[in-house]
């Protein structure tokens, strides 16, 4: 009665802890400690942590509650802090080479300037950008609020590589196979990833994973030979700290946050390093990224091989990728279309007047789009059985973040979508449709930008 | 209790521990703060060690039941210690729920789960998270299989009804203009 019950299925997908045997050294040490504690005799001292001193415990509790009350009183019971003042009217950024543009040239800087100017205009028309000394750009933001400054910094520091994937053909299930490979099994994990578990495909909670689990799954994928359809070249390295480890505590302190109990923390990365390197070499490369007080030796290094990507899930509210609340999917890196295949994205309205996003396709993009959507539609037709429709999806990705994962109606488009202009509709507000159109318009910045002042 | 258990008994315990440690740890980790997990798991297996001779062939549901009671005892102890804390907490704008939903759970489902009674919530979680069939889950909570099925049915009905009141946002789809 329960195998396909939607409530049970959705709860199972939100299961925060795997019950599988852990290979983490910290977890295994804990298991051995517990075994020794039990076998050493049950007359030993009471456990320290939860049989705390009867005298001290209330004192600690009272201090904690008073601190919480003080915070709540200061914020008026709201979790949102008050906005701070705008700060300096200029922001200086320095351009750095990327894998796409390994040398900083005058023409690359000119294109960078033009794209940054376009992006700034989406925040405030009065913001401007000029070339500074050397390879720097100076942005002038008169009267900008802290929120506006944060938004524009997020905008201009994204190199913005726009890619599109056949979702089910690339998203990887916990067993390491793609959803498309196992669609016939209709296992709960596969159905959650494909049909989105009451939320929508690609959404946080619809089969998504915390970063550590996603990177661990991705790291088990075999490396694939470089091909033109890949968005990334070479492996990508991450360094994690063990749950409740001193390294996680030190990293959290450096970031002015609190470590999240029971979860691995990201100490450094992701880092692109050429080819396969030794653990020692990876540790050396990470050393410059580590927070003060964190030793490289304390970290667990995981490498996501070429041909696999870890992408941040969609969420009702944007979550920073470094936040413990962020969720991720693992995808094979077989890109169907790139940002340069689409033109003139804009907010529009569908037939019922609801906000939507429309974009045109180049001649090459038109062919690629039809081929990709044909594969998606045919799989949807094959997977759907009488009375049950399993629509398949197309994912649009900006850098390492999913932007939207729309479905394709295989009954309407059995041979894919042949068009010069595509529309994405459903579930958009005026604001979210405008934001998506802006993100599609970004175009890839040729150079990376780092804030220096 | 024996300070020097014989080798057979020790071996039997090690087999039990190795077979079920990770499942018990996951059960506790899903329901308790990480700082308490080691102690709760240790106390659970301490009880198992003492009752080793009376365990049946499928001890996992029983272990979950022991862990649940250890957790409940911990909570009661915290509440006794926290009389003053409770008074202060009551001054805060909102009383915290007695169950923390995981971050990945969508808001509407989390609200529905928090509103369930603890036995109904546990029934759903034993099936969804621990993967137990109702007959085994019944042993974990110490009731008959029929009573457990009734509890599970009520829990599902309450959650389904709560979710039915939630409007489902339309999902995006992609179409093409006629070219």
Q: CB–CB of B97/B113 below 8 Å?
A: no
Per-range mean pLDDT, top range of A274-283, A288-297, A397-406: A397-406
> What are the chain A neighbours of B83 within 8 Å (beta carbons)?
58
In 3D space, the residue among A331, A10, A313 whose CA is nearest the CA of residue A191 turns out to be A10
Which residue would you say has higher pLDDT here, A124 or A196? A196
Give pLDDT, residue A389. 83
Within-domain flag for A58: no
Q: CB–CB of A271/A287 below 8 Å?
A: no
Give pLDDT, residue A116. 82
Within-domain flag for A318: yes
Q: Which domains does chain B carry?
A: 1-93 (1.10.1740.10), 97-168 (1.10.10.10)
For every residue of B45-106, DSSP letters joined together read HHHHHHTGGG--S--HHHHHHHHHHHHHHHHHHHHHHTHHHHHHHTTSSSPPPSS---TTS-
What average pLDDT does range A114-131 have in this prediction? 74
Give pLDDT, residue A121. 67
Q: CB–CB of A440/A349 below 8 Å?
A: no
Residue reference for tokens 């690629």:
A368
- CB proximity B175 to A under 8 Å: yes
Of B14, B129, B176, the CB nearest to A422: B176
- CB proximity A207 to B under 8 Å: no
Q: What percent of chain B has pLDDT over 90?
A: 46
Residues A319, A239, single domain; the answer is: yes
What average pLDDT does range A207-236 have in this prediction? 91
Residues A135, A232, single domain; the answer is: no
Which of the 8 DSSP states describes residue A323? S
Within-domain flag for A22: no
Q: Using the predicted structure, report yes or no on whether residue B113 has a pLDDT greater than 60.
A: yes
- Interval A295-316: pLDDT, tens: 777 889 999 999 999 999 988 7
Band (pLDDT 50/70/90 cuts) for residue A276 is low
Which residue would you say has higher pLDDT here, A283 or A370? A370
Mean pLDDT check: name the lowest of A7-21, A111-125, A138-152, A374-388: A111-125
Of B45, B83, B124, the CB nearest to A38: B45
Residues A370, A431, single domain; the answer is: yes
Residues A183, A300, single domain; the answer is: yes
Of A33, A49, A422, the CB nearest to B35: A49
What average pLDDT does range B141-166 have in this prediction? 89
Give pLDDT, residue B165. 66
Band (pLDDT 50/70/90 cuts) for residue A343 is confident
Residues B78, B80, B83, B84: is their CA dihedral positive or negative?
A: negative
Chain A: residue nearest B39 by CA? A47
- The chain-wide mean pLDDT, for chain B, equals 82
Helix, strand, or coil (residue A129): strand
Which of the 8 DSSP states describes residue A356? E
Note if the pTM is more than 0.90: no
User: Which residue of B174, B177, B178 is the best one to mutate when testing the A interface, meaning the one whose CB has the most A CBs within 10 A?
Assistant: B174
Shortest distance between the Cα of B86 and any Cα of chain A, in A, equals: 9
Give pLDDT, residue A398. 82
Residues A182, A144, single domain; the answer is: no
Q: Using the predicted structure, report yes or no on whether residue B88 has a pLDDT greater than 60.
A: no
Q: Using the predicted structure, report yes or no on whether residue A172 has a pLDDT greater than 90.
A: yes
Residues A304, A344, single domain; the answer is: no
What span, in angstroms and rounded, lies between the C-alpha atoms of A265 and A323? 10
Give pLDDT, residue A312. 93
CB contact (8 A) between residue A19 and residue B27: yes
Residues A354, A311, single domain; the answer is: no
- CB proximity B6 to A under 8 Å: no
> What are the chain A neighbours of B171 within 8 Å (beta carbons)?
196, 200-201, 406-407, 426-427
Q: Using the predicted structure, report yes or no on whether residue A390 has a pLDDT greater than 60.
A: yes
Band (pLDDT 50/70/90 cuts) for residue A193 is very high
Q: In this structure, what CATH number is given to the domain that contains residue A363?
A: 3.30.1360.200
Give pLDDT, residue A177. 96
Residues A400, A430, single domain; the answer is: yes
Shortest distance between the Cα of A378 and any Cα of chain B, in A, equals: 15
- Interval B18-51: pLDDT, tens: 999 999 999 998 888 777 888 899 999 999 999 9
Within-domain flag for A2: no
Q: Using the predicted structure, report yes or no on whether residue A59 has a pLDDT greater than 50.
A: no
Within-domain flag for A166: no
What average pLDDT does range A347-371 have in this prediction? 89
Backbone angles phi, psi at A398, to 5 degrees: -110, 115
- The chain-wide mean pLDDT, for chain A, equals 79
* Residue after which a domain boundary falls, among A327, A348, A370: A327
What average pLDDT does range A246-275 have in this prediction? 81
Within-domain flag for A84: no
Tokens matching residue A272? 């692109």
CB contact (8 A) between residue B171 and residue A200: yes
In 3D space, the residue among B40, B45, B16, B46 whose CA is nearest the CA of residue B28 turns out to be B40
- CB proximity A213 to B under 8 Å: no
Count of structural domains, chain A:
3
* Residue after which a domain boundary falls, among A327, A362, A379: A327
- CB proximity B15 to A under 8 Å: no
- CB proximity B41 to A under 8 Å: yes
Domain enclosing residue A289, as ranges: 172-327
Band (pLDDT 50/70/90 cuts) for residue B60 is very high
Give pLDDT, residue A318. 66
What average pLDDT does range A38-47 have in this prediction? 56
Within-domain flag for A317: yes
Tell me the ipTM for this assembly. 0.81
What span, in angstroms and rounded, lies between the C-alpha atoms of A297 and A95? 32
- CB proximity B143 to A under 8 Å: no
Q: Using the predicted structure, report yes or no on whether residue A108 has a pLDDT greater than 60.
A: yes
SS (HEC) of B115-170: HCCHHHHHHHHHHHCCCCCHHHHHHHHCCCHHHHHHHHHHHHHHHHHHHHCCCCCC
What span, in angstroms and rounded, lies between the C-alpha atoms of A168 and A187? 14
Residues A213, A296, single domain; the answer is: yes
Residues 362-421 in A contacting B (C-alpha not used; CB under 8 Å): 366, 373, 391, 394, 404-409, 412-413, 417-421
What average pLDDT does range A400-419 have in this prediction? 91
What span, in angstroms and rounded, lies between the C-alpha atoms of B106 and A120? 34
B141 Cβ contact list (under 8 Å, min separation 6): B65, B68, B119, B122, B123, B126, B148
Residues 54-113 in B contacting A (C-alpha not used; CB under 8 Å): 74, 77, 81-85, 88-89, 91-94, 101-107, 109, 113
Band (pLDDT 50/70/90 cuts) for residue A71 is very low
* Residue after which a domain boundary falls, among A157, A180, A215: A157
Residues 69-98 in A contacting B (C-alpha not used; CB under 8 Å): 69, 72, 77
What average pLDDT does range A385-391 have in this prediction? 77
> What are the chain B neighbours of A366 within 8 Å (beta carbons)?
179
Q: Using the predicted structure, report yes or no on whether residue B105 has a pLDDT greater than 80.
A: no
- CB proximity A179 to B under 8 Å: no
Residues A136, A182, single domain; the answer is: no
Residues A117, A248, single domain; the answer is: no
Residues A137, A209, single domain; the answer is: no
> What are the chain B neighbours of A196 within 8 Å (beta carbons)?
171
Q: CB–CB of A335/A165 below 8 Å?
A: yes
Q: CB–CB of A250/A203 below 8 Å?
A: no
Mean pLDDT check: name the lowest of A163-172, A181-190, A426-435: A426-435
Within-domain flag for A431: yes
């Amino acid at each position: 009665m329960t195998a396909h019950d939607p409530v049970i299925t959705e709860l199972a997908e939100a299961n925060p802890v795997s019950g599988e045997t852990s290979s983490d050294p910290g977890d295994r040490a804990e298991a051995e400690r517990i075994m020794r504690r039990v076998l050493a005799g049950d007359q030993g001292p009471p456990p320290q942590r939860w049989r705390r001193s009867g005298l001290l415990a209330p004192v600690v509790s009272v201090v904690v509650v008073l601190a919480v009350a003080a915070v709540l009183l200061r914020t008026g019971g709201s979790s949102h802090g008050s906005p701070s003042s705008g700060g300096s009217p200029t922001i200086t950024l320095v351009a750095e080479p990327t894998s796409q543009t390994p040398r900083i040239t005058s023409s690359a800087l000119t294109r960078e300037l033009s794209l940054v100017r376009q992006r700034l205009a989406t925040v405030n028309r009065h913001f401007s950008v000029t070339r500074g000394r050397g390879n720097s750009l100076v942005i002038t933001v008169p009267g900008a609020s802290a929120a506006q400054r944060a938004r524009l910094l997020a905008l201009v520091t994204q190199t913005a590589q726009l890619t599109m994937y056949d979702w089910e053909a690339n998203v990887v299930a916990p067993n390491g196979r793609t959803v498309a490979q196992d669609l016939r099994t209709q296992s709960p994990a596969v159905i959650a990833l494909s049909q989105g578990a009451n939320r929508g495909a690609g959404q946080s909670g619809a089969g998504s994973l915390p970063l550590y689990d996603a990177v661990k799954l991705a790291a088990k994928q075999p490396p694939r030979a470089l091909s033109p359809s890949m968005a990334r070249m070479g492996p990508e390295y991450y360094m994690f700290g063990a749950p409740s480890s001193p390294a996680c505590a030190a990293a959290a302190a450096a970031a002015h946050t609190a470590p999240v109990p029971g979860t691995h923390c990201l100490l450094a990365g992701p880092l692109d390093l050429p080819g396969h390197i030794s653990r020692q070499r990876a540790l050396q490369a990470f050393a410059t990224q580590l927070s003060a007080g964190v030793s490289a030796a304390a970290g667990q290094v995981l490498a996501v091989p070429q041909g696999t990507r870890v992408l941040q899930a969609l969420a009702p509210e944007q979550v920073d990728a470094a936040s413990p609340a962020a969720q991720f999917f693992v995808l094979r890196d077989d890109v169907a279309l790139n940002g340069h295949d689409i033109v003139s994205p804009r907010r529009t309205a569908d037939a019922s007047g609801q906000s939507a996003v429309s974009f045109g396709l180049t001649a090459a993009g038109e062919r690629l789009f039809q081929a990709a959507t044909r594969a998606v539609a045919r799989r949807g037709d094959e997977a759907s059985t009488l009375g049950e429709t399993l629509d398949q999806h197309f994912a649009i990705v900006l850098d390492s973040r999913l932007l939207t994962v729309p479905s394709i109606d295989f009954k309407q488009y059995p041979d894919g979508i042949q068009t010069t202009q595509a529309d994405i509709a459903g579930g958009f507000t005026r604001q979210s449709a405008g934001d998506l159109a802006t993100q599609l318009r970004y175009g890839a910045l040729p150079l990376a930008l780092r804030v220096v002042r | 209790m024996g300070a020097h258990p014989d080798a057979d008994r020790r071996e039997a315990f090690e087999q039990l521990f190795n077979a079920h440690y990770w499942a018990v740890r996951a059960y506790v980790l899903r329901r308790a703060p990480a700082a308490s997990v080691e102690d709760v798991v240790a106390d659970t297996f301490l009880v198992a060690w003492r009752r080793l001779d009376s365990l049946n062939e499928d001890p996992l549901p029983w272990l979950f039941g022991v862990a649940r009671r250890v957790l409940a005892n911990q909570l009661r102890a915290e509440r006794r210690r926290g009389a003053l804390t409770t008074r202060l907490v009551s001054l805060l704008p909102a009383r915290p729920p007695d169950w923390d939903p995981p971050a990945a759970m969508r808001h509407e489902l989390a609200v529905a789960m928090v509103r369930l009674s603890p036995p109904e919530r546990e029934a759903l979680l034993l099936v969804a998270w621990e993967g137990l069939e109702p007959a085994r889950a019944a042993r974990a909570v110490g009731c008959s299989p029929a009573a457990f099925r009734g509890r599970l049915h009520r829990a599902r009905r309450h959650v389904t009804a709560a979710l039915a009141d939630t409007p489902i946002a339309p999902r995006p789809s992609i179409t093409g203009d006629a070219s």
